[in-house]
A and B are shown apart, each in its own frame.
Chain A
Amino acid sequence: MAGLVETFGAGAMTNSIGEIRDADFLFVIGSNTSEAHPIIAMEMKRAIRKGATLVVADPRAIWMTSIAEKHLQLNPGTDVWLLNAMAHVIVAEDLINREFIENQTENFEQVKETVASYTPERAEEITGISADDIRWTARQYAMTEKAGIYYTLGITEHAHGTDNVYALANLVLMTGHLGKPATGMNPLRGQNNVQGANDAGATPMFYPGYQRVDDPDVQAKYEKSWGVPLSPVPGLNLNEMMKTVGEQMRGFFVMGEDIVLSEPNVLELEKGLNKVDFIVMQDAFMNETARFADVILPAAVFAEKEGTFTNSERRVQRVRKAVEPPGEALPDWEILVMLANKMGANWSYKDPAEVYAEMVKDVPQFAGISHEKLEKIDAGEESIAGLQWPCPDADHPGTKFLHEDGILRGKGLFMPVHYIPPAELPDEDYGLFLSTGRTLYHYNAATQTRRESGLDVKQSEAFVELHPSDARKRGVHHGDIVEVTTRRGSVQLRAILSRQVRPGCIWMPLHFAEARANVLTNDVGDAVTGTAEYKVCAAEVRLVKSMPGNETFFPGSYYFEKGPGLQRVGD
């Protein structure tokens, strides 16, 4: 989220989920919304029923494209070209919001210069989207008052993910679609508490509330608050930590994550982990990381503990204990307190409410939020449950959309960006573009969803989507077992023939342990956030075993044009 903090001064959805239904133009880029965020998709469907226009930019056809006015099916990794070309049109046709640019932003001239060479015609060559469609989209976006941008991992999981965010932010700033309801720039978070984990300071660069570790005033504040000397040197991000596993990194504390299943280029990582001195793992289930762990601490799951999550729209909401954890398992916060005390700390938190109170004490924009206040709001009927930050004092009602009284950063910062091709492009040996993603029925490493029998009925095994024309060249039929290979490794799984992907592109979900997508993916990290390039790399597909009679194999992903399981798509 560093990109948004830098340009606007706050790294979160600028607007609220409930405002989506009132938008008139929705620009969805790199988000398979109906599968990754079904509830947001419902809001979008509502807006569309009321007459809103939806444009989806995605290399792959997804459910949302079936109700979109236009599907911009761009070549993978060419987002910056598309976005800069849209900016080009907006500038060239003088659709900019001059007043907003003058009063509320800085550095516009530089972006104007940069996008001058990004003509729609050249964009057509590189992105594969017609110049007309680019012009049309740019005009619609600029000229519709309630126009919002929605994006997710599709945009940020690139080596140049932060560039994509800047390019989008430029569009928002030049049209002034900010600080008003049903507009803005809205990153949809993949996991329940990504927003919260970042807000709470679980990031190498920031203390809670995006306060920089290398800012002397901030450091002084926390040294006073915690009564210990602190380090002004930003830490390594996860991608960097994983790359120096076994070298600089010699010990790990891992809570609630399966780094082995979720990190890219996992074979390299495993080599490094073998050289690590010591790993403590704290989780509710055994996972792949356990193979390298020395101590495993059994943790409670969300239904067994108290606390809060913060959602994509900055809404802090209560998590409440409903049942007792099994056996001796304990809530993570309790384990953390005990472990810290064993290591010489003197922590005496008696409940999560107290931890929360300590956190907000040093973060002005969270200062008005407390467990107590959340209880009160949830018990009343006047307002929607939870409280959205900024919420500076106890009487503040929370903030539905950001930047209403001017951009939080002071001035919105235009950031010129240039297109850099993806780190790895298809070539003779690896002729296809591989991207990975989520499906509706599973969740990340799927340690939870695959333990749910029903979801396994609907989507029981891994699959790779392959365009019929690419399949034909390789002698692959629907339902066959194939091997997908990249420079880093290979996995075997089912092929499904689908026109959802463009010719030359393949796609697979990342949830399945027996066909780990991240054996294949690239660990080149974004220079700013360290988010790895999960989305694109070069790959090749080879037939392993023909499976005649498997024409109806349907793993539950959305079928383009034809109904699920009805017919073979393709030949």
Chain B
Amino acid sequence: MSKLTLNEQTICFAEGETLLDVASRQGLEIPTLCHDPRLEPAGACRSCLVEVAGERLMTPACARVAQEGMVVATENERIDRHRQTLMALYMTDHPHEREISEAGSPDLLLDMAAEFDAPMDWGWMEPMRGDREDRNPYVDFNPDTCIACARCVRYCEEIEGVSAITLAGRGSHTTISTVEEKSLLDTTCELCGGCIDVCPTGAMNEKLPLMRGQKPERELVKVRSTCNFCGVGCQLDLNVDLEGRDGQGQIVKVTSPPPGTTTNDGNLCVKGRFAYDFVHHKDRLTQPLVRDEDGVFHPTTWDDALERAAEGLLGVAERHGADALGFVSSSRCTMEENFLVQKMARALFRANHVHQCAAT
């Protein structure tokens, strides 16, 4: 095992680990914006600079590979000053008000500026105003809050593998765009929403909650659950407005848990991330229904509906034998519910005609 000195402590590290990896393992916090454990390091945002003894320039901890004998400092006056300056510079063209920059997702840059006590009065440059119109249904991009760290671009290329978005323009005019500035819908984009999730400043945002004027993410409660679409079983956070729907709770958006904590490693697909509108859809069934003599359905009470359901099923068993009853369970429902359906078929009717739609 190789060793290095980190803030005056001797630490072992494994080959290939970056200074950020080593420091995080020690529980040291280094600020990062463009870093993502799933991506190749880019060293773009400069927020993670640390000092290596004997080197004139500070170095990005996220991109610098640890080496035998290195002497590293992650906290000192010079580093503090750097962080302050960097944040002050970022703030010269970044909205200062949370209401503006955090209409949707949280803006880590504002947190960081506050944390390092950055001066907010180093002048104001008009931020890049780009066209915010795009007919795609899900992804909103706000150039005002973009810091061009390219995390979204790298995600789209390295993880999703479709390279639908790129960095465009130069210098202070650098921004995120698509090839030929087409709508995302006309690119290779698969609407996975990963770019939204990785964006540290909330420049990439989910469109629908903004359009609907729903609460910003900071005011929502996250409930960790399992996606109900495919067999991957991604973990996701349902972001709930507890006061929504007259206090019944409303799902405002879905976000992914941090990378490294779940099977899906912080990723989701278009269905898991965006297809939640069905939950509160007006077509939901809200009352038990029974078909009457007239051949149409009528709403009724739970007790009545259950009574009729029980009578109906028992009646079939009586007339034709329990073997005439089929129980179709569902691979959409929970383990517990499937267990109960098969127990119902077997224990109550002494028959094994129980299956679900997708046995594959």
Contact = CB atoms under 8 A, between A and B. Distances in A.
A202 B360 contact: no
Interface residues of A, number: 155
B276 A303 contact: yes
Interface string B263-297: 11101111100111111110111111111000001
B348 A440 contact: no
B286 A257 contact: no
Nearest to B222: A322
B315 A278 contact: yes
Interface string B319-339: 110011111111111111111
A342 B309 contact: yes
Interface in A345-381: 345, 347, 349, 352, 355-356, 358-359, 378, 381
A251 B324 contact: yes
Contacts of A207: 342, 346
B336 A352 contact: yes
B240 interface: yes
A235 B166 CA distance: 56
B302 A18 contact: no
Contacts of A237: 355, 359
A235 B262 CA distance: 37
Interface in B95-146: 135-138
Interface string A320-340: 111110111111110111111
A193 B285 contact: no
A39 to B, nearest CB: 5
B150 interface: no
A458 B360 contact: no
B1 interface: no
A204 B355 contact: yes
A356 B158 CA distance: 40
B305 interface: yes
Interface in B207-250: 208, 223-235, 238, 240, 245, 248-250
Interface string B37-71: 00000000000000000000000000000000000
Contacts of B336: 200, 307-308, 333, 352, 355-356, 359
Given A294-B312, A323-B250, A530-B359, A457 B185 contact: yes
A304 B249 CA distance: 10
Interface stretch (B73-81, B82-90, B186-194, B197-205): B186-194
Nearest to B242: A323
A234 B355 CA distance: 11
A152 B360 CA distance: 8
Nearest to B346: A230
A259 B357 contact: yes
A302 interface: yes
A116 interface: no
Given A194-B331, A322-B240, A378-B224, A284 B232 contact: no
A315 B350 contact: no
B305 to A, nearest CB: 6
Given A253-B326, A305-B334, A1 B137 contact: no
B354 interface: yes
B2 interface: no
Nearest to B292: A294
A81 B176 CA distance: 49
A280 B346 contact: no
A344 interface: yes
B28 interface: no
Contacts of A283: 285
A329 B286 contact: yes
B25 interface: no
A18 B277 CA distance: 30
Contacts of B158: 49
Contacts of B310: 339, 342-343
Contact of B333 (A17, A49, A193, A453): A193
Contact of B320 (A228, A233, A250, A322): A250
Contacts of B277: 451-453
Nearest to A293: B291
B247 to A, nearest CB: 8
A197 interface: yes
A285 B297 CA distance: 14
Given A295-B291, A317-B226, A332 B334 contact: yes
Contacts of A321: 223
A545 B288 CA distance: 43
Contact of A200 (B226, B227, B335): B335
B235 A323 contact: no
Looking at B159, B231, B305, B342, which has the most chain A CB atoms within 10 Å of its CB?
Answer: B231
B337 A248 contact: no
A92 interface: no
Given A235-B355, A455-B275, A39 B232 contact: yes
A194 B233 contact: no
Interface in A216-269: 222, 226, 228-231, 233-238, 241, 248-257, 259, 262-263
A202 B305 contact: no
Nearest to A366: B335
Contact of A202 (B268, B307, B355): B355
Contacts of A335: 306
A16 B195 CA distance: 26
A457 B139 CA distance: 13
A303 B324 CA distance: 34
A296 B284 CA distance: 12
Q: Taking each of B187, B309, B350, B360, which has the highest tally of chain A beta carbons within 10 Å of its own beta carbon?
A: B360
Contact of B356 (A194, A280, A458): A194
B168 to A, nearest CB: 18
Contact of B331 (A188, A192, A333): A192
A196 B335 contact: yes
A331 B335 CA distance: 13
B226 A318 contact: yes
A307 B137 contact: no
Nearest to B160: A42
Given A201-B338, A329-B284, A280 B357 contact: no
29 contacts: A38-B270, A42-B160, A192-B331, A196-B331, A200-B335, A201-B338, A202-B342, A204-B353, A213-B352, A228-B347, A235-B351, A253-B325, A284-B284, A297-B288, A298-B289, A311-B233, A319-B225, A326-B286, A328-B302, A336-B340, A336-B341, A336-B344, A339-B306, A343-B348, A386-B263, A448-B228, A454-B274, A457-B135, A529-B360
Interface of B: 135-138, 158-161, 185-188, 190-192, 208, 223-235, 238, 240, 245, 248-251, 257, 261-265, 267-271, 274-281, 283-291, 297, 302, 305-310, 312-317, 319-320, 323-348, 350-360
Given A280-B312, A345-B347, 11 more contacts: A1-B360, A39-B264, A191-B358, A193-B333, A228-B347, A248-B323, A251-B312, A255-B333, A296-B305, A321-B223, A386-B235
- Kindly list the 10 A-B residue pairs having the minimum CB-CB distance in the complex, ordered from nearest: A327-B286, A189-B231, A311-B233, A307-B334, A235-B352, A454-B137, A251-B316, A256-B330, A323-B249, A38-B269
